[in-house]
C-alpha cells in the first residue's frame, strides 16, 4: 500500500474510532476543505487533528505540523497508531489540562 493510500485509510479508521466514541460528525477533513492546512480528521470542534498511521513517527515534526496548521484557539493534536497497537494522542500538557478542566474530571 502506498503512503497516500495508507494515510487515507488511517484517517478513515481514526474517524470511525472517534464515531465509535460518540463523535458522530468525525470525518476525513480533506473530503470537505482540501487545503494543505486542513485537519486530517474533522468533527471535534476546537481540536485540530493530524493523523499519522506509521511504524516510525517523528512526533516533534508531526506536532509542529499540527500546531502550524491549526487555527487560532484550536488545540493541536497528533493522533497516531502503529500496526497492532492502540491509537495514541499527543498534545501539550497545557492543552491536556485545558481539556480536563472543561470535563467531568474537574477538581
What percent of the chain stands above pLDDT 70?
89
Q: Look at the block and give the residue holding cell 499519522.
A: 52
| Higher pLDDT, residue 62 or 6 | 62
* Strands laid side by side in the 88-90 sheet: 27-28, 41-42, 47-53, 75-81, 88-90
In the prediction, which pLDDT does 21 show? 96
Domain 3-101 in CATH 3.40.1350.10? The answer is yes
Instruction: Write out pLDDT tens, residues 41-92.
Output: 999 999 999 999 999 999 999 999 999 999 999 999 999 999 999 999 999 9
User: Is-above-0.85 flag for pTM?
Assistant: yes
Amino acid at each position: 500500500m502506498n503512503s497516500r493510500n495508507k494515510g487515507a485509510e488511517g484517517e478513515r479508521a481514526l474517524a470511525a474510532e472517534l464515531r465509535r466514541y460518540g463523535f458522530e460528525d468525525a470525518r476525513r477533513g480533506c473530503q470537505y476543505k482540501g487545503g494543505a492546512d486542513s485537519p486530517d480528521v474533522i468533527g471535534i470542534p476546537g481540536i485540530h487533528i493530524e493523523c499519522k498511521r506509521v511504524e516510525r513517527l517523528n512526533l516533534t515534526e508531526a506536532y509542529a505540523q499540527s500546531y502550524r496548521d491549526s487555527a487560532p484557539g484550536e488545540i493541536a493534536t497528533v493522533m497516531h497508531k502503529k500496526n497492532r497497537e492502540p491509537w495514541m494522542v499527543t498534545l501539550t500538557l497545557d492543552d491536556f489540562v485545558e481539556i480536563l478542566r472543561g470535563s467531568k474530571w474537574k477538581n
